[in-house]
């Protein structure tokens, strides 16, 4: 899953976006969601992430053109470049149990407390996976 990728690996996934067919909106959506988590942790990714997100949101059948597809590729490359600068790091996510598995919320930094209200039990210890 994209959740488990390092910054460099996620950058590779973004670089491979150009090999997709333009009508493949599912993978774009997953990459968008994965990179959104990174922009919560690393503010320098916010702008390129939003640009990619807006470009891919125009890839629906009725709004899609050759130009919107080129914008997806261009913004994906810019976001990939920003991710590569972070290097071989993983995003810290909360591993506390919830009703549907583990929380997975992106943490502001390694060891930071999770503010989610979805954890099971009132005094469950927040455990960080890296």
Which spans in 4-128 are helix H?
7-15, 25-41, 46-57, 66-86
- Helix (H, G, I), strand (E, B), or coil: what is residue 121? coil
In angstroms, give the least distance from the CB of 40 to Zn ion. Answer: 13
In angstroms, give the least distance from the CB of 49 to Zn ion. Answer: 22
Q: Which is nearer to Zn ion, 4 or 12 (CB)?
A: 4
Instruction: Give me the residues that bind Zn ion (CB under 5 A), please.
Output: 94, 96, 103, 105, 114, 116
What distance in Å separates the CA atoms of residue 12 and residue 127, rounded to the nearest whole number? 29
Q: Which is nearer to Zn ion, 11 or 114 (CB)?
A: 114
In angstroms, give the least distance from the CB of 103 to Zn ion. Answer: 3
């Amino acid at each position: 899953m994209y959740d488990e990728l390092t910054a460099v690996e996620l950058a590779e996934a973004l670089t491979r976006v150009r090999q997709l067919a333009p009508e493949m909106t599912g993978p774009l959506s997953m990459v968008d969601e994965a990179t959104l988590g990174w922009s919560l942790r690393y503010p320098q990714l916010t702008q390129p992430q939003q640009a990619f997100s807006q470009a891919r949101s125009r890839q629906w059948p009725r709004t899609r053109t050759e130009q919107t597809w080129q914008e997806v590729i261009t913004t994906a490359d810019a976001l990939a470049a920003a991710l590569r600068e972070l290097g071989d790091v993983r995003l810290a996510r909360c591993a506390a149990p919830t009703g549907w598995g583990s929380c997975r919320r992106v943490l502001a930094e390694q060891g930071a407390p999770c503010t989610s209200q979805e954890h099971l039990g009132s005094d469950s210890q927040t455990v960080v996976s890296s």
